[in-house]
Amino acid sequence: MTKLLILAALAAAPLGQPALAAAPLGQPALAQPAPAERTAVVQHRDLDLRTDRGTKTLDRRIWRAVVEVCGTASDFDIAGRNHVHACRRDTRALASVQADAVIASAVRGEPIRVTSIAK
């Protein structure tokens, strides 16, 4: 049941992200709009998920999508790097649940949607 709720939430996630503008100096940080969730679609129809090669290729595609939706932070921004690391860890775990379900049934129908779950 939990997997279905996660999949439903990911399927309902918005596909685009509005551009974020920096807050002018002097404004409190709370005045900034909350960033929207970012989503990437991982296709797997071309993969034979019954083989190790297919599952490894899917894993690499998921990792690239996770990096894309979580973004990066400057080496000098410790808090930002921690946030990106947590986003990547949590987002990959969520996407791996979907991938495991797809691999287990060896279904090649629906794409996997990777959405950042940053707070």
53 within some domain = yes
User: Whole-model pTM above 0.75?
Assistant: no
Cα separation, 93 vs 74, whole angstroms: 24
CA distance 63 to 51: 19
Range of the domain at 97: 47-119
Is 13 a member of any domain?
Answer: no
* pLDDT one-digit tens code per residue, 82-117: 999 999 999 999 999 999 888 887 654 566 777 777
> Is 20 inside any structural domain?
no
Residue 81 lies in a domain: yes
Number of CB atoms found within 10 A of residue 71's CB: 15
Number of domains within the chain = 1
DSSP reduced 3-state for 35: coil
Judge whether 38 and 14 are in contact, CB under 8 Å. no
Structure tokens at 78: 């410790």
